[in-house]
Amino acid sequence: MKTPPLEPIRLNKRLAEMGLCSRREADAWIENGWVMVNGQPATMGVKVTSADNVVVDRRAHGHQESQVTILLHKPMGYVSGQAEDGHEPAITLIHGRSHWREDISKNRIQPSQLRGLAPAGRLDIDSVGLLVLTQDGRVARQLIGEDSEIEKEYLVRVTYQDHATDVQNLFPKEQLMRLRHGLSLDGKALKVAQVEWQNPEQLRFVLKEGKKRQIRRMCELVGLRVVGLKRVRIGRVALGNLPVGQWRYLSAHEKF
């Protein structure tokens, strides 16, 4: 007995669920005539089922191979995405003068690499560290898709009840356990987090989600105040020795 086809869904969603690209990227492929459904060029907004034969032209994959992913050590005072409240977006730091000299990539910055380059995740204006900007919808979906399980690691300097030193000994252990599991934000329970002391004034957080200002809000719930926050790793890609305000390309052998 054959399994009945699934309910029709938009083609761009189908392509994204197949892990081929992002929805926005799928729309561009459809516009360029690179997607066929049952032997016919796809049209924008068309819906498909599992019974439909969807084929993507090799030109789409060739276009994808030319797309870049950039790793930036974001300084304080820059916003991740669009400019707001007079603060510049992080993308303004992507130019030849700020390209890290020790980058092993043979890529060189081109105007075409800035088109469609967008942050895959956010880093607050008062936070520093690793920010990923990409043209590749596959990377964006992997890092910020609804089903993403990619770890993000942070080093977080905190104070407790106006104490800026020896915070580890003053902070109740049961509250540390709450940080790991037991807090809710926006009416929803948070996923289990790895939280441990890096030194007496600094915590190490490893999260698999990224709600707005999540770490700062988590700390507030247990009486801690964040005075410094730095993202040092996303998945298997570490910030390493990349200087503040400089960037490099994600190399071909690196995977999140």
| Active site (catalytic) residues | 124
**Sequence-ordered strand ranges (E) for the chain:** 9-10, 35-37, 40-41, 47-48, 54-56, 69-74, 118-119, 128-134, 152-160, 184-185, 188-189, 194-199, 202-207, 224-234, 237-238, 247-249
Yes or no: say if 170 and 106 are a contact pair by the CB < 8 Å rule.
Answer: no
* Residue found by looking up tokens 């999260």 in the block: 207
The interaxial angle of helices 214-221 and 173-180, nearest 10 deg, is: 140
* Residue found by looking up tokens 């052998």 in the block: 253
End-to-end CA separation in angstroms for the chain:
41
C-alpha to C-alpha distance for 226 and 229, rounded to whole angstroms = 7
Neighbouring residues of 129: CB distance < 8 A, sequence distance ≥ 6: 73, 74, 123, 154, 229, 230, 231, 232, 239
Which residue type occupies 53?
N
Pairing of the two strands 224-234 and 128-134: parallel
